[in-house]
Structure 1
C-alpha cells in the first residue's frame, strides 16, 4: 500500500493538513454566516458603508470556502459539509442580535483574527510537509486578511 496521495504528498501529512483545513472551513462558515447577519441587520449612520462592506466580505468568504473545500479534496481527504459539524469544530461563535457599527465591526475583527491565526498554523504545517499548494492558497488569503484587519482597526479607532 502506497503512503502517497494521488498528487505525491504523504497521506499522513495530508490528513493532518486536511484536519486543520476542515477547522478553517468550519470557521469560515461561521464567519460567513455572521457577516450575512451583519449585512441584513446593520443600523445607524454607517449603514450604507457597512451594508456594502459586509456584502463584499461575505462574497469573498464564500469564494474562500469553496477553495478550502476543494483543496481538502485535492489532497485526498473529505471536507466537512454539515452546519452541525461547522458549529462543533469552529472556534468562531454565532453572533446573534448585533446591529451597531462598533459591535459588528468588532465581531468581524475578532472572527478574522481567529481565521488568521489558524491560517498561519496551517501554512507552517503545510510548508514543513512540502504541501506547496496549500501554502499558496493560505498565503494569498493571509495577505488579504491582514489588509482587512488594518481597515477594520482604522474604522474602530
Structure 2
C-alpha cells in the first residue's frame, strides 16, 4: 500500500488528536453570551473527533501501517496548533474555522493520494469526513457573520 497515503492519514490522526484536545479546552473555558451554544457545539465536535481519530487509526492498521499513538508525535505531525488558553469565544470560532479549512485541504490531498493508489475505501472514508468538516466550517462562518 502507498506509504504516502499512510503518512497522509497519519497526519490526519495527529491533527484530529490536537483538534480533539483544543475542542475540550474550548468546551471547558468558553465564556460569554454564546456560552450555551458554543459549549454544546464544542462537545459535539470533540465527540465526532474521537470517532474520526479511531476510524483513521484503524484504517492505517488495515493498510499495515502504524498510527501515531503519543501526544508528542501528534504535536510534531499536526498541521494545526494547540489552544493558547487566551482565546475569547469569537477567537475560538475563528481559530476552529481556520483549523477546519486546513483539515479540509489536507483531506482533499489524502483523497487524491487514495485515488492514485486505487484505494476506494480510504478515499470514501476521507470524503465522508470532508463532507462533515465542510458543514461545520459553514456553520462557524455563519456564526461569525
Q: What is the aligned counterpart of 2:98 among 110, 115, 134?
A: 110
The residue number in structure 1 matching 2:123 is 135
Partner residue in 1 for 2:28: 40
How far 1:99 sits from its partner (Å)?
A: 4.4
Note the C-alpha offset of 1:85: 0.3
Structure 2 CA distance for aligned equivalents of residues 110 and 51 of structure 1 = 19
2:87 and 2:32 map into 1 onto residues whose CA distance is 8
Q: 1:71 aligns with which of 47, 51, 59?
A: 59
TM-score normalised over the length of structure 2: 0.97
Distance of 2:128 and 2:4 partners within structure 1: 21
Aligned length: 145
- Partner residue of 2:83? 95
1:146 pairs with one of 134, 140, 143: 134
Comparing 31-40 with 109-118, which one deviates more in the overlay? 109-118
Question: Which residue, out of 23, 31, 42, partners 2:19?
Answer: 31
Q: CA RMSD in A?
A: 0.9
Gaps of 5+ in 1: 1-10
Distance 1:19 1:37 in 2: 27
* C-alpha contact 1:28 1:65 (8 A) present in aligned 2: yes
CA distance in 2, matches of 1:32, 1:110: 15
Which 5+ residue runs of structure 2 have no aligned equivalent?
A: none
